[in-house]
Structure 1
Amino acid sequence: MKLSKSLLLIAIFVSSLYSQPFSHQDHLRGAITKERKWWDLQYYHLQVTVNPQQKYISGTNLIRYKVISSHNELQLEMQEPMEILSVYQDDQKLDVRKDGYSHFIQLTKKQVVGAVNEVVVEYAGNPLVSKMPPWQGGITWTKDDNGNFFIASSCQGEGASIWWPNKDHPYDEVDSMRISVTVPEDLTDVSNGRLEKVDHNKQQKTKTFHWYVSNPINSYGVNINIGDYAHFSEKYNGEKGVLDCDYYVLSYNLDKAKKHFAEVPRMLKAFEHWFGPYPFYEDGYKLVEAPYLGMEHQSSVTYGNGYQNGYLGMDLSKSGWGLKFDFIIIHESGHEWFANSITSSDVADLWLHESFTNYSENLFLDYYYGKKASSDYVIGTRINIGNRKPIIGPYNVNKTGEDIYYKGANLLHTIRQLIDDDEKWREILRGLNRKFYHKIVSTQEIESYINENTKVNLRRIFDQYLRSTQIPNLEYYTRQNKLFYRWTNAVDKFDMPVKVSFGTEKQVWLYPSTSWRETRIPKSFKKLRIDRNFYVSTQNLLEEN
Structure 2
Amino acid sequence: MKSPLFFLVVFLIFPLTYSNAQLLQEKNNFTRQDTLRGSITPEREWWDLTYYHLDIEVYPEEKSIAGKNTIQYRVLKPYQVLQIDLQKPLQLTKVTQNGKELEIKHDGNAHFVMLKDQQNIGEINSVIAYYQGKPREAIRAPWDGGISWKKDNNNKHFIASSCQGLGASVWWPNKDHMYDEVDSMDISVTIPKGLMNVSNGRLKSVVDNNNETITTNWHVANPINNYGVNINIGDYANFSEVFKGEKGDLDMNYYVLKDNLEKAKEHFKDAPKMMKAFEHWFGPYPFYEDSFKLVEVPYLGMEHQSSVTYGNQYKKGYLGKDLSGTGEGLKFDFIIIHEAGHEWFANNITNVDIADMWIHESFTNYSENLFLDYYYGKESSAKYVIGTRNGIRNDRPIIGQYNVNHEGSGDMYNKGGNMLHTLRQLIEDDEKWRQILRGLNKTFYHQTVTTEQVENYLSEQSGIDLTAFFNQYLRDTRIPTLEYKIENKQLKYRWTNIVDGFDMPIQVLIANKTQWIFPNNTWKTLSIKSDTIKIDEDFYVKSIKL
Distance 2:233 2:70 in 1: 22
The aligned residue for residue 513 of structure 1 is 520
Distance 2:537 2:475 in 1: 22
How much does 1:478 deviate?
Answer: 2.2
How much does 1:469 deviate?
Answer: 0.2
Which amino acid in structure 1 is aligned with residue 147 of structure 2? Answer: I
Deviating above 6 A after TM superposition, structure 1's stretches of 4 or more consecutive aligned residues are 12-15
The aligned residue for residue 301 of structure 1 is 308
The aligned residue for residue 538 of structure 1 is 543
Query: Aligned pair in 2 of structure 1 residues 413, 505: CA closer, same or farther (>3 Å)?
Result: same
For the aligned residue pairs, the C-alpha RMSD in angstroms reads: 1.3
How much does 1:491 deviate?
Answer: 0.3
Distance 1:482 1:49 in 2: 75
Pick one of 340, 344, 350 that aligns with 2:347: 340
**Bigger mean CA offset, 85-94 vs 21-30:** 21-30
The aligned residue for residue 104 of structure 1 is 112
Aligned residue pair count: 526
Matched, 1:356 2:375: no
The aligned residue for residue 330 of structure 2 is 323
Residue aligned with 1:249, SS: strand
Matched, 1:439 2:447: yes
Distance 1:219 1:24 in 2: 21
The aligned residue for residue 238 of structure 1 is 245
Q: Does structure 2 conserve the Cα–Cα contact (< 8 Å) formed by 1:487 and 1:495?
A: yes
The aligned residue for residue 25 of structure 1 is 33
Residues 367-423 of structure 1 show CA distances to partners (whole Å, capped at 9, x for unaligned) of 000000000000000000110100001111100001110000000000000001111
Residue aligned with 2:362, SS: helix
Q: Does structure 1 conserve the Cα–Cα contact (< 8 Å) formed by 2:478 and 2:498?
A: yes
Q: Does structure 2 conserve the Cα–Cα contact (< 8 Å) formed by 1:17 and 1:389?
A: no
**Bigger mean CA offset, 40-49 vs 470-479:** 470-479
Distance 2:492 2:517 in 1: 11
Q: Does structure 2 conserve the Cα–Cα contact (< 8 Å) formed by 1:18 and 1:394?
A: no
Query: Aligned pair in 2 of structure 1 residues 235, 301: CA closer, same or farther (>3 Å)?
Result: same
Sequence identity, in percent? 58
Structure 1 residue ranges without an equivalent (≥5): 1-11
Distance 1:478 1:60 in 2: 71
How much does 1:476 deviate?
Answer: 1.2
How much does 1:527 deviate?
Answer: 1.7
Residue aligned with 2:289, SS: coil
Residues 280-312 of structure 1 show CA distances to partners (whole Å, capped at 9, x for unaligned) of 000000000000000000000000001110000
Q: Does structure 2 conserve the Cα–Cα contact (< 8 Å) formed by 1:280 and 1:299?
A: yes
Distance 2:450 2:346 in 1: 12
How much does 1:456 deviate?
Answer: 2.1
Pick one of 413, 426, 441 that aligns with 1:418: 426
Q: Does structure 2 conserve the Cα–Cα contact (< 8 Å) formed by 1:14 and 1:393?
A: no
Distance 2:428 2:29 in 1: 43
Which amino acid in structure 2 is aligned with residue 264 of structure 1? Answer: A
Which amino acid in structure 2 is aligned with residue 208 of structure 1? Answer: T
Query: Aligned pair in 2 of structure 1 residues 457, 519: CA closer, same or farther (>3 Å)?
Result: same
Q: TM-score, normalised by structure 1?
A: 0.95
Query: Aligned pair in 2 of structure 1 residues 169, 199: CA closer, same or farther (>3 Å)?
Result: same
Pick one of 30, 43, 49 that aligns with 2:51: 43
Query: Aligned pair in 2 of structure 1 residues 248, 87: CA closer, same or farther (>3 Å)?
Result: same
Distance 2:160 2:493 in 1: 55
The aligned residue for residue 11 of structure 2 is none
Query: Aligned pair in 2 of structure 1 residues 377, 32: CA closer, same or farther (>3 Å)?
Result: same
Residue aligned with 1:265, SS: helix
How much does 1:14 deviate?
Answer: 12
Pick one of 502, 505, 520 that aligns with 1:497: 505
How much does 1:54 deviate?
Answer: 0.3
How much does 1:21 deviate?
Answer: 2.0
The aligned residue for residue 158 of structure 1 is 166
How much does 1:232 deviate?
Answer: 0.7
Which amino acid in structure 1 is aligned with residue 157 of structure 2? Answer: F
How much does 1:202 deviate?
Answer: 1.9
How much does 1:338 deviate?
Answer: 0.2
Residue aligned with 2:290, SS: coil
Q: Does structure 1 conserve the Cα–Cα contact (< 8 Å) formed by 2:165 and 2:405?
A: no
How much does 1:494 deviate?
Answer: 1.0
Residue aligned with 1:477, SS: strand
Distance 1:457 1:89 in 2: 51
Residues 482-524 of structure 1 show CA distances to partners (whole Å, capped at 9, x for unaligned) of 211110000012100000112x3311100001111111111xx
Q: Does structure 1 conserve the Cα–Cα contact (< 8 Å) formed by 2:243 and 2:250?
A: yes
Residues 25-59 of structure 1 show CA distances to partners (whole Å, capped at 9, x for unaligned) of 11111111111000000000000100000001000
Distance 1:464 1:177 in 2: 40
Q: Does structure 2 conserve the Cα–Cα contact (< 8 Å) formed by 1:14 and 1:394?
A: no
Distance 1:438 1:484 in 2: 48
How much does 1:17 deviate?
Answer: 8.5
Structure 2 residue ranges without an equivalent (≥5): 1-19
